[in-house]
């Protein structure tokens, strides 16, 4: 009797481990990482972790092609067929043999420890990360193809009121600060430090996640979300974007600055979202269109119905010296911020105080969009849409089918214009470039 219980217990254990292996291998196809790449690896800045040459075979078999993940999955199905068992195997010598099981289970253990078991999945399974499934529809208006993401599950997310943003005061509303330690272990990814400035940041998975692997880079010491991006902020974001591109999964970064920008947390944080299109989100793809552009001068996309200020960045890579990256990004940011301030000043109704704006950063452009309002009220349904930088990247978020249809009828451009400002680029043109004028005669 005792033996029977032990046998049944081992069988259930083996079945559980196989089911987990199939699940982990499936995710391992998408998020390819050799788990032990830090052994013998070198951390370079810029560039991140460079695995040792001795690990090249594992990088090939896990990252370049998911061979180990495929083998793990096949092996798990084979063990399941023996343990369950398949009718054809029931009572056969393989089904009754311990000798067959031992090497198969050892091989399974060896294969599965090689590849990364996703932190995102763990955080989700243990309830620290709330994932809201969604679907995306393309919606073309003029030259831009917007992406409208329908996420009905977000209706159940607790609504956070816009905090009081006071750049001089720490945590002005006195609410718990999610970006202060102690961090939720399952959301904690790691920390980075700016080599020049010594400024430290913590990287955390987004707790309320719509796109898997959405993460945040928050300043370790409290800084206000109403303060501008500083040179080390820009450098660290850019290095992360470079590292992501190198790892084969492009991201873009965004920053909601000020109380009219769609931000809900007062502690300075920049957000990074994975991309399906390596040319960036829709607004970046549009900015790439006028291909012959004068570098080192801001420009505006006149086909968009709201004020937008864009700077095309020079080509930089992991081997570009940090000083140079810092100089280029700071110069771009300051020239765009000047334009944001002059756009805001031109609006007689804009309230006094720090202006709000959204920033979108890709490896090829920095976009700054001045903001007049946080929310847009849909004429048809009366629903309020909170728009953040992702909206101005060309990716709108709606929470119901009715909202989706109302947005399409009202027009995304009109909605963005409703929370943005009128473009005065024609008046600002000195020192900047108009698309039509920026073509270099080749
Ligand atoms: P904020 O800059 O303050 O504001 P936000 O991104 O607009 O988020 P909001 O909270 O207003 O979310 P919303 O319902 O509009 O960012 C704060 C960030 O911190 C948020 O990402 C929040 O989730 C995160 N956070 C809060 N508490 C945390 C904690 N304890 N640990 C870690 N992170 C924490 O939108 C819901 C989500 O969808 C947001 O993440 C938003 O960025 C994202 N989103 C918006 N538009 C999207 C689109 N088109 N596609 C995909 N995702 C989109």
DSSP 58-120: HIIIIIIS-HHHHHHHHHHHHHHHHHTT-TTTTTSHHHH-HHHHHHHHHHHHHHHTTB---HH
Query: What is the per-residue pLDDT for 163?
Result: 67
Residues 222 and 73 grouped into a single domain: no
Both 177 and 84 in one domain: the answer is no
Task: Name the residue of 131, 164, 208 whose CB sits within 8 Å of the most ligand 1 atoms, as the mutation to test its pocket.
Answer: 208
Say if residue 296's pLDDT is above 80.
Answer: no
Among the candidates 117, 146, 170, a domain finishes at 117
User: Does residue 323 sit in the same domain as residue 212?
Assistant: yes
Mean pLDDT value of segment 233-241:
96
Residues 96 and 165 in one domain: no
Cα distance between residue 401 and residue 388, in whole Å? 20
Q: Answer whether residue 165 is part of any domain.
A: yes
Report helix, strand or coil for 402. helix
Q: Flag the least confident range among 43-52, 174-183, 234-243, 342-351.
A: 43-52
- Confidence band (pLDDT; 50, 70, 90) for 295? low
Does residue 376 belong to any structural domain of this protein? yes
194 and 299 co-located in one domain: yes
Strands (E), 280-336: 299-300, 309-312
388 Cβ closer than 6 Å to some ligand 1 atom: yes
Report whether pLDDT(439) > 50. no
User: From atom 13 of ligand 1, which residue's Cα is the shortest distance away?
Assistant: 386
Q: The domain containing residue 204 runs over which residues?
A: 132-441
More reliable by pLDDT, 157 or 220:
220
Q: Percentage of the chain surpassing pLDDT 70?
A: 88
In the chain, the number of structural domains is: 2
User: Poorest-confidence range of 58-72, 170-184, 309-323?
Assistant: 170-184
Q: What is the pLDDT of residue 442?
A: 31
pLDDT of 368 over the 80 cut? yes
Inside any domain, residue 411? yes
Please identify, by atom number, the ligand 1 atom nearest to the C-alpha of residue 208: 23
**DSSP class per residue in 132-164:** ---EEEEEEETTEEEEEEE-GGGGGSPPPPPP-
Q: Mark which of 83, 117, 151 sits at the end of a domain.
A: 117
Last residue of a domain, one of 117, 146, 167: 117
In the numeric block, the tokens 């500083």 are attached to 230
What distance in angstroms lies between residue 208's CA and the mean position of ligand 1's atoms?
Answer: 6
Q: Are residues 284 and 403 in the same domain?
A: yes
Q: What pLDDT score does 113 carry?
A: 86
State the Cα–Cα distance between residues 306 and 189, nearest whole angstrom. Answer: 36
Predicted local confidence at residue 104, as pLDDT: 92
Give whichever of 65-69, 116-120, 157-161 has the largest mean pLDDT.
Answer: 65-69
Predicted confidence band at 425 (pLDDT cuts at 50, 70, 90)?
A: confident
pLDDT band at 436 (very low <50, low <70, confident <90, very high): very low
Residue 286, domain CATH: 3.30.428.70
Full-model pTM: 0.78
Span 263-294, pLDDT tens digits: 999 999 999 999 989 899 999 999 998 655 66
Pocket probe mutation, ligand 1, options 176, 206, 223, 227, max atoms within 8 Å of Cβ: 206
pLDDT at 19 over 70: yes
437 pLDDT band, cuts 50/70/90, is very low
282 and 363 inside one domain: yes
Task: Please give the average per-residue pLDDT across 360-367, as a whole number.
Answer: 97
The residue to mutate among 397, 400, 416, having the most atoms of ligand 1 within 8 angstroms of its beta carbon, is 397
Q: For atom 2 of ligand 1, which residue has the closest CA?
A: 263
Report whether residue 86 contacts ligand 1, using a CB cutoff of 6 Å: no
Ligand 1 centroid–CA 3 distance in Å is 53
Give the residue-averaged pLDDT of 9-30: 89
pLDDT confidence of residue 246:
82
State the Cα–Cα distance between residues 324 and 330, nearest whole angstrom: 10
Does any domain span residue 125? no
DSSP assignment, residue 435?
G
In the chain, pLDDT over 90 holds for what percent of residues?
62
126 domain residue, yes or no: no
Same domain, 53 and 138: no
At residue 167 the predicted structure's pLDDT band, cuts being 50, 70 and 90, is low
325 close to 314: Cβ distance less than 8 angstroms:
no
Instruction: Work out the average pLDDT over 81-90.
Output: 91
What pLDDT sits at residue 173?
A: 67
Evaluate: CB of 369 within 6 angstroms of ligand 1: no
């Amino acid at each position: 009797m005792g033996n029977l219980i032990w046998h049944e217990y081992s069988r259930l254990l083996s079945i559980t481990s196989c089911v987990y292996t199939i699940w982990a291998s499936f995710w391992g196809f998408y998020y390819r990482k050799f788990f032990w790449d830090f052994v013998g690896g070198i951390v370079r800045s810029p560039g991140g972790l460079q695995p040792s040459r001795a690990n090249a075979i594992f990088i090939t078999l896990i990252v370049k092609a998911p061979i180990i993940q495929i083998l793990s999955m096949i092996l798990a199905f084979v063990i399941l067929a023996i343990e369950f068992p398949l009718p054809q195997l029931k009572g056969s010598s393989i089904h009754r043999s311990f000798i067959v099981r031992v090497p198969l289970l050892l091989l399974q253990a060896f294969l599965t420890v090689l590849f990364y078991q996703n932190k995102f999945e763990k955080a989700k399974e243990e309830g620290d990360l709330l994932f809201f499934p969604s679907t995306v529809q393309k919606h073309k208006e003029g030259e831009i193809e917007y992406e409208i993401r329908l996420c009905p599950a977000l209706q159940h997310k607790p609504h956070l009121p816009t905090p009081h943003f006071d750049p001089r005061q720490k945590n002005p509303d006195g609410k718990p600060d999610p970006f202060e330690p102690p961090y939720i272990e399952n959301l904690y990814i790691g920390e980075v430090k700016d080599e020049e400035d010594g400024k430290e940041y913590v990287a955390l998975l987004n707790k309320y996640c719509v796109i898997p692997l959405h993460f945040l880079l928050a300043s370790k010491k409290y800084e206000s979300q109403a303060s501008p991006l500083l040179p080390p902020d820009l450098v660290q974001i850019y290095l992360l974007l470079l590292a992501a591109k190198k790892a084969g999964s492009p991201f873009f970064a965004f920053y909601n600055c000020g109380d009219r920008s769609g931000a809900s947390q007062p502690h300075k944080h920049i957000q990074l979202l994975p991309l399906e299109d390596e040319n960036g989100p829709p607004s970046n793809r549009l900015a790439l269109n006028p291909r012959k552009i004068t570098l080192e001068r801001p420009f505006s996309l006149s086909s968009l119905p709201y004020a937008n200020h864009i700077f095309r960045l020079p080509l930089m890579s992991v081997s570009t010296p940090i000083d140079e990256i810092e100089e280029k990004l700071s110069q771009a940011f300051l020239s765009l911020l000047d334009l944001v301030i002059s756009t805001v000043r031109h609006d007689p109704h804009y309230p006094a105080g720090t202006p709000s704006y959204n920033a979108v950063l890709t490896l090829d452009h920095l976009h700054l969009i001045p903001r007049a309002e946080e929310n847009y009220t849909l004429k048809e349904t009366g629903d309020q849409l909170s728009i953040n930088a992702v909206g101005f990247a060309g990716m709108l978020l709606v929470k119901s089918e009715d909202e989706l249809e109302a947005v399409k009828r009202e027009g995304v451009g009109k909605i963005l214009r409703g929370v943005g400002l009128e473009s005065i680029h024609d008046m600002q043109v000195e020192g900047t470039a108009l698309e039509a004028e920026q073509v270099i005669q080749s």
